[in-house]
Amino acid sequence: MLLTPFCLTLTCLQVLPNRSQFFRYNSVSLSCEDERNSTGWKVKRKTPDGGIRPCSSGWGYVSSGSTCIIANSYPTDTGVYWCESEKGEQSNSVNITITDRTVILESPALPVLEGAAATLYCKAETNTSDHTYDFFKDGHVIITNSSGEMTIDSVSKSNEGLYTCSISGGGESAGSWLAVSVPFEPSSSAPSSAPTMCSVLRLLCHLAVGMPYMFSTILLGLICRDRKRAAQMVTDQGGRDDVIMEILV
């Protein structure tokens, strides 16, 4: 398939082949890939009844380190799968569907990076010819052809949704969610935030340095004012004493 899977976490659950739907008895390989090269990751699954158990528990599973291979898949293997470390850390999750239907939609199990190309295939359990294929998105027909494949040249967020397909005279597939991941890009306003932060810090530094001088100036002003008031009071008091003395004489 012409697609670019994208993982949003450091530890990623990879599915081979990279699709979310499988016929009964198909082989499925799930492995934990960790960019930090740590060990101890195991594939776990959530069953349709809500239970959680290791992927490798039960008949028909082959487990080797952080890889789990379902040699002969059954509808009971349908569920949500993810990687989990011994410390309880979890990776991305993948919804795997094992179906008894005669038609499946081969769409990527992992998110597709925005701008990449993705091809979806409508496949029948038995070889068919001279059939038409309908592809649906969110319940609406988006393309009909005789090749059984649909290519999105440049995936965008608008392509995200629930996809199904049908074959004339052959039935309809289950639904698969096509996830689209947008690459992180720093916003255009990010560079301007650095000078603004520097200006704020510079202002705070000036205030921290200047505040003691400002308080000292205010304090000196208050002291001078109080001294002037005291001197004025002494002067006024002396004048009143002279008047009293003159009256007594």
Q: Is the pLDDT of residue 130 over 60?
A: yes
Burial of 122 (0-12, 13-18, 19+ CB in 10 A): buried
Q: What percent of the chain has pLDDT over 90?
A: 42
* pLDDT score for 8: 56
List CB contacts of 229: < 8 A, sequence separation 6 or more.
Answer: none
Q: Is the pLDDT of residue 218 over 60?
A: yes
Mean pLDDT of the region 38-52: 79
* pLDDT score for 205: 55
Q: Exposed e or buried b for every residue in 230-239, given b needs 16+ CB within 10 A?
A: eeeeeeeeee
Q: Exposed e or buried b for every residue in 76-112, given b needs 16+ CB within 10 A?
A: ebbbebbbbbeeeeebbebebbbbebbbbbbbbbbbb
- Least confident residue range of 58-62, 129-133, 170-174, 221-225: 58-62
* pLDDT score for 52: 84
More confident residue, 18 or 49: 18
* pLDDT score for 194: 46
Q: Is the pLDDT of residue 231 over 90?
A: no
* pLDDT score for 51: 79
Rounded Cα distance between 228 and 131, Å, is: 108
* pLDDT score for 180: 94
Mean pLDDT of the region 36-65: 73
* pLDDT score for 47: 72
* pLDDT score for 50: 75
* pLDDT score for 184: 64
Q: Is the pLDDT of residue 3 over 60?
A: no
Mean pLDDT of the region 7-22: 84
pLDDT band at 87 (very low <50, low <70, confident <90, very high): confident
Q: Is the pLDDT of residue 59 over 80?
A: no
Mean pLDDT of the region 142-171: 94
Tell me which residue has tokens 């205010």.
218
